[in-house]
């Protein structure tokens, strides 16, 4: 799973997604173990990032269980079971404030240049 999360984050970053944050929500909710939050500048970038994530996961034979908001593109939700990906335009992310809503979850920002760093890797291994 750790590698899949990194690959999801990389796919989003590759399509100009920014402010990518991985939340470990397994102790806070039963719906998923991780939320991945990301921002884009516009709807087309959100759709491109969502497509890239789905393509990357399909390569691994992991299919999206549910997809919401793709046509509108302001907030796209991709549900892969243990991982739920939220891709927002900047305005939508500020409006819904999921970062604040889930602030109790251990979180780590993803940065492409240091995705091998101990901090990111360590956070993904945390089981509370």
The domains located in the chain, with CATH, are 2-125 (3.30.460.10)
pTM score above 0.85: yes
Residue-wise pLDDT tens digits, 1-42: 388 999 999 999 999 999 999 999 999 999 999 999 999 999
Angle between the 2-14 and 43-59 helix axes, to the nearest 10 degrees? Answer: 140
Paired with 83 in beta bridges are: 34
Burial 48-80 (b: 16+ CB within 10 A, else e): bbbebbbebbeeeebebeeeebbeebbbbbbeb
């Amino acid at each position: 799973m750790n590698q899949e999360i990194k690959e999801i984050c990389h796919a989003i970053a590759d399509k100009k997604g920014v402010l990518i944050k991985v939340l470990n929500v397994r102790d806070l909710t039963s719906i998923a173990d991780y939320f991945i939050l990301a921002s884009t500048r516009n709807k087309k970038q959100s759709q491109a990032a969502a497509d890239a994530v789905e393509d990357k996961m399909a390569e691994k034979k992991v299919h999206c269980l549910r997809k919401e908001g793709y046509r509108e593109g302001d907030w796209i939700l991709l549900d892969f079971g243990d991982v739920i990906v939220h891709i927002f335009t900047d305005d939508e992310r500020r409006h819904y404030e999921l970062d604040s809503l889930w602030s109790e979850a251990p979180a780590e920002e993803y940065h492409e240049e240091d995705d091998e760093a101990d901090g990111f890797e360590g956070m993904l291994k945390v089981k509370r």
